[in-house]
Structure 1
Amino acid sequence: MKLSGAELEGRIEKLYGILENCTLCPRNCRVNRFSSKNGSCRTGARPIVSSFGPHFGEESFLVGNSGSGTIFFTNCNLNCVFCQNWEISQMGAGEEIDVEELSKIMLRLQKMGCENINLVSPTHQVPMIVDALFRAWQKGLELPVVYNCGGYESIETLRLLEGIVDIYMPDFKYGDDAKALKYSGVANYVSVAKRALEEMYRQVGPLKIENGVATRGVFVRHLVMPNDTSSSGKVLQLIASVSENIPVNIMAQYYPAFKAQHYPELNRRITREEFVEVIEKARALGLKIVS
């Protein structure tokens, strides 16, 4: 356990208190999630999980020898029209469980030999996740905790995660607010994501890898999109402005999923030239590229 029991109990109490007038993420829906699921994330005050298990498709330093212990949380605080996991993030595929069951999942992943607990799309379920982590730590959970998010994070919520999260793994999706609003339905994405990254870096610093496995730190994922709809150059400049010591995984696996076919500029895969151009921009900025 990383913090004292009293400190963790205080954090959990504060996080659940936020749910009464929800401002967990920058959308600030102010819905009472104990009595309603009408916020943007369509989630109440209980965990909703789509699936869990060892995952071997993550970055090599998360996978290690035994896989990253991923827990895919249902729903999302973003509404990306191109989401490749849209059945989970947008259509609600998953099962509502209680916090005790979530803690047992974490311990089960450790028993399977996983290298870490990888929380996928955790932003809107943070209170329940921290509650479950506390219970799991009391029963012997020792794995690093990975916060795998879309980058649209509240500074206040992140501060309540200090000392709890070991590895931050945000997406930095856009370098242009208009595009973020059009394709993901959120305002002020660029400034919000930059401030969030600054806070993450303040908490955990550069990525640390021991024996081929990440133990602490922050790195960023950026998905290259067709026709530069993500404004990749600006994204990379923003990351470098926070710190050149933040590694970046520049991803090429975009394909037109979910509603992307309704947007002509999104309705194709990227070209090799588009991908190479972003890689070259990252190198010119002195950023380390990881995969």
Structure 2
Amino acid sequence: MQLPEHCTLCPRRCGANRAAGRTGYCGAGDTLLAARAALHHWEEPCLSGDPNAATGSGTVFFTGCTLQCCYCQNYKISQQGLGKPLTAERLAEIFMELQQKGAKNLNLVTATQWLPWVTQALDAARRNGLTLPVAYNTGGYETVETVKALAGYVDIWLADYKYASPALAKELSAAQDYPQVAHAAIRQMLLQTGAPVYDADGYLQKGVIVRHLALPGHSDDSLAVLQRLADLRQETGVSFVPSLMSQFTPFYRAA
């Protein structure tokens, strides 16, 4: 595995020499950290299924994040470094354990800062019999290059489209360029992955889910995001699953 000596995995392009143990903007260094791996029952129904069933989405929550959302509900993981060290070999074993527990998919949450470990673990797990579709759960702040690099690894993109306003993106997530970056990344996800494909039980096997969390006092921005999603559908000719969320809770610095 080759660790970044001048990290450009995310749009921050902070240039951290992670091979030398330096941490990037995201908080990631030279040791993989993850906070939780379990069957998750509260994703979209086409990923998690019945919340009362024994199955679910096989979710791994990775430590760190390329965004700085002031209302993040997982801020202890994303901003405060909560997590345990893992090797790529152990991560591959975790993927297999989730499959053995009955997961319907493998759900990788904020994994971009750990891409060298994740791709190595996926390669190893597939050699050992991993057959689950892989869902990449992202805040949408991705480079087109990273999306392209994940071709052949990711079957399902579960991406946020948080903001249409650069000013709002800067204020709430410290990422003024978020709107254009996310738009370009999601466009590539659609072109790369194609229209949704479901199995006989209604579980998504391939495609793109685009989430938007409606924020109090910013309905105009939500409407602008929805228009941008309609534009993406027209631009690409590729359908996707829209997921409009209303469960904003004032966590972290928004409390």
The CA RMSD measured in Å over matched residues stands at 1.4
Quote the residue 1:23 is aligned against.
Answer: 8
Deviation string 1:247-282 (CA, Å, 9 cap, x unpaired) is: 211111101110014xxxxxxxxxxxxxxxxxxxxx
Quote the residue 1:87 is aligned against.
Answer: 76
Distance 1:25 1:86, change over 3 A: same
Unaligned runs of 5+ in 1: 1-12, 262-291
Quote the residue 1:196 is aligned against.
Answer: 185
Deviation string 1:119-161 (CA, Å, 9 cap, x unpaired) is: 0111211111001000101111110000000000011111110
Instruction: Tell me the CA shift for residue 175 of structure 1.
Output: 0.7
Once residues 198 and 54 of structure 1 are traced to their aligned partners in structure 2, the CA distance between those partners, rounded to angstroms, is 29
For the pair 1:187 / 2:171, whether they are aligned, the reply is: no
Identity %: 40
Quote the residue 1:255 is aligned against.
Answer: 249
Quote the residue 1:74 is aligned against.
Answer: 63
After TM superposition, the structure 1 stretch with the greater mean CA deviation from structure 2, 182-191 or 22-31, is 182-191
Deviation string 1:179-224 (CA, Å, 9 cap, x unpaired) is: 1111111131111000001100011112222221000000101101
What is the TM-score with the length of structure 1 in the denominator? 0.82
Instruction: Tell me the CA shift for residue 71 of structure 1.
Output: 0.3
Once residues 224 and 37 of structure 1 are traced to their aligned partners in structure 2, the CA distance between those partners, rounded to angstroms, is 36
Determine if contact 1:179/1:229 at 8 Å carries over to the other structure. no
Once residues 217 and 22 of structure 2 are traced to their aligned partners in structure 1, the CA distance between those partners, rounded to angstroms, is 36
| SS of equivalent residue, structure 1 residue 197 | helix
Quote the residue 2:233 is aligned against.
Answer: 243
Once residues 22 and 81 of structure 2 are traced to their aligned partners in structure 1, the CA distance between those partners, rounded to angstroms, is 12
Deviation string 1:51-91 (CA, Å, 9 cap, x unpaired) is: 01100011111013510000000110001000011111011
Distance 1:186 1:36, change over 3 A: farther
Once residues 215 and 194 of structure 1 are traced to their aligned partners in structure 2, the CA distance between those partners, rounded to angstroms, is 23
For the pair 1:225 / 2:219, whether they are aligned, the reply is: no
Unaligned runs of 5+ in 2: none
For the pair 1:39 / 2:24, whether they are aligned, the reply is: yes
What is the TM-score with the length of structure 2 in the denominator? 0.93
Instruction: Tell me the CA shift for residue 45 of structure 1.
Output: 3.0
| SS of equivalent residue, structure 1 residue 243 | helix
In structure 1, what residue type is equivalent to 2:113? H
In structure 1, what residue type is equivalent to 2:166? D
Once residues 170 and 193 of structure 2 are traced to their aligned partners in structure 1, the CA distance between those partners, rounded to angstroms, is 29
| SS of equivalent residue, structure 1 residue 233 | helix
Quote the residue 2:41 is aligned against.
Answer: 56
Instruction: Tell me the CA shift for residue 47 of structure 1.
Output: 1.9
Between the two proteins, the alignment pairs up a number of residues equal to 246
Determine if contact 1:173/1:230 at 8 Å carries over to the other structure. no
In structure 2, what residue type is equivalent to 1:27? R
Once residues 246 and 175 of structure 1 are traced to their aligned partners in structure 2, the CA distance between those partners, rounded to angstroms, is 19
Q: Which has the larger radius of gyration?
A: 1
In structure 1, what residue type is equivalent to 2:69? C
| SS of equivalent residue, structure 1 residue 236 | helix
Determine if contact 1:166/1:217 at 8 Å carries over to the other structure. yes
Once residues 27 and 252 of structure 1 are traced to their aligned partners in structure 2, the CA distance between those partners, rounded to angstroms, is 28
Which of 118, 136, 153 does residue 147 from structure 1 map onto? 136
Quote the residue 1:270 is aligned against.
Answer: none
Once residues 117 and 123 of structure 1 are traced to their aligned partners in structure 2, the CA distance between those partners, rounded to angstroms, is 15
In structure 2, what residue type is equivalent to 1:58? E
